[in-house]
Amino acid sequence: MQLQRIFLPLLALSFLLALSACNSSSSGDAFIGTGGMSGTGGTGAGLGTGGTGAGVGTGGTGAGVGTGGTGAGVGTGGTAATGGTTGCASSATSECSDCIDNDGDGKVDGFDPECISSADDDEGSYATGIPGDNKDETWQDCFFDGNSGAGDDGCRYNTCCLIGGCDPGSEQDSCTNLSQECVDFCGGSTVPGCDCFGCCTMCDDAGCVDVVVNPTAAPDCTYADIHDPAKCPTCQPSTECGSACGCSECVLCPGQLPDDLCGECGDTQECPNNAASCTSDADCTDTQYCSAFCCVEQIIVQ
C-alpha cells in the first residue's frame, strides 16, 4: 500500500512531462524563442529562451554602383579619327581646335584638310568663319593668318596668280616678286603642301592634285570636290612662299596619313622649316598647332 502511494504520484508526474514535450515539439509550428541574435554583417543565429531563434543581420551582401564606375569619354587629346591625335585646350572654342569632328567626315581639327588653322571656325569648308577673312577678291596676303586680304602684312599677291590669266604689270609681278616680309611672316603658319596663298596639294584615295582652296578664287571648293576642276581649279603653287609635299620631300600632303610616306622616307616625315613632326598639339610648342602631322605657327590675326 505504501508502495502504491509513492508510485501513483510519480506516474502522474511522468504523464504531465510527456504531455508538455508533445505540446512543444510534435506540432508542425516552429517555436520562436525570445533570445535569437542578429549579427551585423550577416545572418545571426542564437539559442533563445524556450527555443531556437534566427534573425537576419542588417549587413547582408548587396550590389551597388559606386561613384567611380567605369565610363567612357572624350578627353583633352582624344584620338582623331584619321590617325594621330589632337591635343586641344579645354578652352578652345573654334571648330578646328575643339577635338570634335564637326562636319562628320571622320577627320578632326588639324587632321581635317579643310582646317586652315587653330582659329578656323568652319571645319566643313575652306572658309574660316573668321570675320573679315577671305573678303578681298583681288589682292591677298597670307591665306593662313586669319585675315587674308588687303596686303596688311607687307605681303601683296593678286588672286589671278592662283588661277592664271594675270595681266602684265603689277598683277603679274606680284606672282613672283614677293617681299621678304611676305616670306618671313607667312611661311611659318602655312600648312605643309600649300603655298602661302591657298594653292595646295590635296590628296585622297583617288590621288593628289594641286588645287585652289582659297575661297576668294574658288568659293565652291571643298575637300570632297578636289578632283572637280569646275569647283576646285588647278593651280601652280608659289615656289617662293610655302612648302611642297610628296615623296621627294618626305612631307605628307593634306589628306595623307603616316602610312602614305614613301619607303625611302622611313617612318618620319621631314616637316618644312625644320619644324617638328607631331601627332598632337602636345608635340608642338605653345605657339604652334599640329596640322597635317607637322607643327605650324598659330595664326596671328592682324
- Average pLDDT of the residues in 49-58: 38
Which residues does 166 contact at the CB level (< 8 Å), separation at least 6?
Answer: 158, 160, 172, 174, 175
pLDDT tens readout for residues 281-295: 889 998 898 999 999
- Confidence class for position 35, pLDDT limits 50, 70, 90: very low
> pLDDT band at residue 257, thresholds of 50, 70 and 90?
very high
Longest dimension (CA), the chain: 158
> Would you say the pTM of this structure is higher than 0.85?
no
Report the sign of the C-alpha dihedral through residues 279, 297, 194, 138, in that order: positive
pLDDT in tens, 69-89: 333 333 333 333 344 444 455
63-67, 247-251, 254-258: lowest mean pLDDT where?
63-67
Higher pLDDT, 161 or 10: 161
Containing 302, the helix (H) or strand (E) segment is: none
Share of the chain above pLDDT 70, in %: 67
Mean of the pLDDT values across residues 51-64?
Answer: 38
Tell me what pLDDT residue 301 has: 55
Q: What count of Cα atoms within 13 Å lies in the side-chain half-sphere of residue 53?
A: 16
Q: Nearest to residue 199, comparing CAs of 160, 154, 168, 153?
A: 160
CA distance 221 to 122: 14
Q: Quickly tell me which residue has 588645287 as its cell.
A: 211
Residue 288, CA atoms < 13 Å, CB-side half-sphere: 22
Q: Which three cell numbers stand for residue 265?
A: 622616307
Closest CA to 48 of 65, 35, 39: 35
DSSP reduced 3-state for 154: coil
Q: pLDDT for 187-210, tens place per residue?
A: 888 999 999 999 999 999 999 999
Name the phi and psi angles at 163, rounded to 5. -115, 0
| Predicted local confidence at residue 75, as pLDDT | 35
With b for 16 or more beta-carbon neighbours within 10 A and e for fewer, the 229-262 pattern comes to: eebbbebebbebbbbbbbeebbbbbbbbeeebbe
Amino acid 199: pLDDT: 95
SS (H, E, C) 82-146: CCCECCCCCCCCCCCCCCCCCCCCCCCHHHCCCCCCCCCCCCCCCCCCCCCCCCCCCEECCHHHC
Partner residues linked to 195 by β-bridges: 242
Residue 149 has what pLDDT? 66
The C-alpha cell 509513492 sits at 6
Q: Determine how many CB atoms are found less than 10 A away from the CB of residue 199.
A: 26
Instruction: Specify burial of residue 162 (Cβ count, 10 A radius: 0-12, 13-18, 19+).
Output: buried
Contact 153, 302 (CB under 8 A): yes
| Pairing verdict, β 288-291 and 157-158 | unpaired
Which conformational region is residue 215 in: left (phi greater than 0), alpha (psi within -120 to 50 degrees), or beta? alpha
